[in-house]
Amino acid sequence: MNRRHCAAAAITLVCALTVLTAPVQAFAAPSPPHPSVSQPASGSASDSGSKSSESSESSESSKARKSSDAPAKSLEEVREEIDDLYQKAGAATDAYNLAAERAKKQSNEIVRLARAIVEGRAKIAELKIRAGAQAREQYRSGGLPPGAQLMLSDDPQLFLDGVSRVREGQQAAKGVLGELTRTQQDLETYTQDASTNWEKLEANRLKQAKAKKKINAQIAAAKKLESQLKKEELARLLKLEQEAAYQRQTAWLSSGALKDIHREASASGKKAVAFATAQIGKPYVWGAEGPSSYDCSGLTSQAWAAADRPIPRTSQEQWRLLPRIAIKDMRPGDLIIYHSDASHVGMYVGDGAIIHSPRPGRSVTLAGAGSMQILGVVRPDK
């Protein structure tokens, strides 16, 4: 590999990364069964009888007859389908955010390696100059090793004084050659590491692109369903959504989940809650982490960053890496992870409530902690 090209390519890559770094994340829909997609009912075709009429039946009539067999979807089924699409978009958002976070780390590592390569080359050039100076000095002294020159000297004092200089010179020469070898080995390692990180970066770039495509497709499908509803149906749809969340919250509270939860927030937890509360009303935007909009894990990660406790960017990484606690032990500031794939997160603020950024078309809001399927609870400052 041409090492000069490696350093230049690394810097070029970092510039290109700015195009890739658009964040993303999770959501707030329960995980209902995916309803079958059916078409609205249409008028049935005539099936009266003669062979001649059957043979002349048009393809349009055939399609109409098939459509008449499929019942129109109820508004509740539409709500479930929209929720399902947004939850899938949330999972894809989490994958996008994770790929973006890893790409950022890899780009930073490539920059570090590129600088190390440049510094290493400069050091090698310096060491070669020093080695050349030592070689020239030996040539000027007649080409004899310093030890041989001393042995031929008739001056005892010169001999004794020279022994020390010989040792110092030998040590210096050995040191220069050893340092030169180590620096060359380091350069080779830096080059290999840069190549590896480049490959990982490209893989994460492809993951980002794939996740972004999936997110946009799921959100577009959900918005298309919503756009087909009349104004009064949209109002009823929102009411159905609120009723479903209320029923789940009521069932959760009735289970006695809050019976023993009376713990105070830590000092850091209070700061995180205060930050999250101040964001209420700001819109959900997938991949956003403030200050004007947030996705779900963008909100929680920024809230804890404001409390001087950096945590992973995505809800899945928050679930994987942060200490887990029992629901009965949770306190304000803890994070509740939702859905079996850990694709959504909210911050517990006490009294059975969370602050979260739900999904596209919604804003940061208060909600019941049990209004979605709880996977578990993690504590950033444990």
pLDDT digits (tens, 9 = 90+) for 194-240: 777 777 777 777 777 787 777 778 788 888 877 787 888 888 888 88
Which domains, and CATH codes, for the chain? 3-41+75-225 (no CATH), 42-72 (no CATH), 258-378 (3.90.1720.10)
Taking 70 as the threshold, does the pLDDT of residue 372 lie above it? yes
Active site residue 6: no
10 Å Cβ neighbour count for 191? 20
5 is catalytic: no
Rounded to whole angstroms, how far apart are CA atoms 7 and 335?
Answer: 42
Residues 6+ apart with CB under 8 A from 49: none
Q: Is 296 a catalytic residue?
A: yes
**How far, rounded to the nearest angstrom, does the alpha carbon of residue 283 sit from its chain's CA centroid?**
20
For residue 157, how far is the Cα from the chain centroid?
72
What is the per-residue DSSP string for 349-371? Answer: EETTEEEE--STT-BSEEEETTS
Between 125-129, 155-159, 336-340, the lowest mean confidence (pLDDT) is in 155-159
Kindly state the average pLDDT of the residues 39-63.
Answer: 40
Winning range, highest mean pLDDT, from 57-61, 111-115, 232-236, 243-247: 243-247
Of 98-102, 109-113, 255-259, which one has max mean pLDDT? Answer: 255-259
Between CA 52 and CA 59, with CA 58 as vertex, the angle to 5 degrees is 135
Of 5, 34, 339, 356, which one is the catalytic site residue? 356
CB 109 within 8 A of CB 199: no
Amino acid (one-letter) located at 345: V
Judge whether residue 66 has pLDDT over 50: no
pLDDT the model gives residue 196: 78
Catalytic residue among 6, 15, 339, 344: 344
**Is-contact 378 331, C-beta < 8 A?**
no
